[in-house]
């Protein structure tokens, strides 16, 4: 079985090769944000305050609570419940922060069988050519 780091690298490679966010209408559309955020809260990736902000945004039907791009990684520090937010004062850390978000996502996928099955099926159906 792959490690979270290996799966994250695979996901990032797919994202690079498809030329768009993996979270757009790609694999991200197969993830239930409530499930991911509850898992992240339970694992300690979100504070109680962040989780409650997400729950309220979800109840208010806010876009940020429905769109995996906002939920997984916030490059602009505008989404208070994002799993990983980039510190704009450290632009040199942006790649590291983005990868960290994908390692957390990969850990989730590996921990929840239905999401591992969805990833395997999605990646098989959406083969890409290596650079």
pLDDT reported for residue 119: 95
- In the predicted model, residues of the chain with pLDDT beneath 70 are 91, 128-131
> Within a domain: residue 103?
yes
Angle at the Cα of 12 from the Cα atoms of 131 and 129, rounded to 5 degrees: 30
pLDDT reported for residue 61: 94
> Within a domain: residue 131?
no
By residue range, what is the domain housing residue 36? 4-125
Q: CA–CA separation, 94 vs 97, rounded Å? A: 5
> Within a domain: residue 130?
no
pLDDT reported for residue 131: 47
74 secondary structure, DSSP code: E
Count of structural domains within the chain:
1
């Amino acid at each position: 079985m792959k490690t979270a780091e290996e799966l994250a690298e695979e996901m990032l490679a797919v994202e690079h090769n498809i030329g768009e966010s993996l979270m757009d209408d790609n694999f991200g559309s197969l993830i239930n944000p409530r499930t991911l955020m509850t898992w992240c809260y339970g694992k300690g990736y979100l504070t109680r305050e962040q989780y409650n902000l997400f729950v309220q945004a979800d109840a208010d039907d806010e876009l940020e609570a429905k769109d995996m791009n906002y939920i997984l990684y916030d490059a602009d520090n505008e989404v208070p419940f994002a799993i990983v937010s980039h510190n704009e004062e450290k632009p040199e850390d942006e790649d590291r922060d983005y990868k960290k978000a994908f390692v957390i996502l990969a850990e989730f996928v590996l921990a929840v069988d239905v999401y591992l099955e969805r990833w395997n099926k999605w990646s098989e159906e959406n083969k890409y050519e290596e650079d």
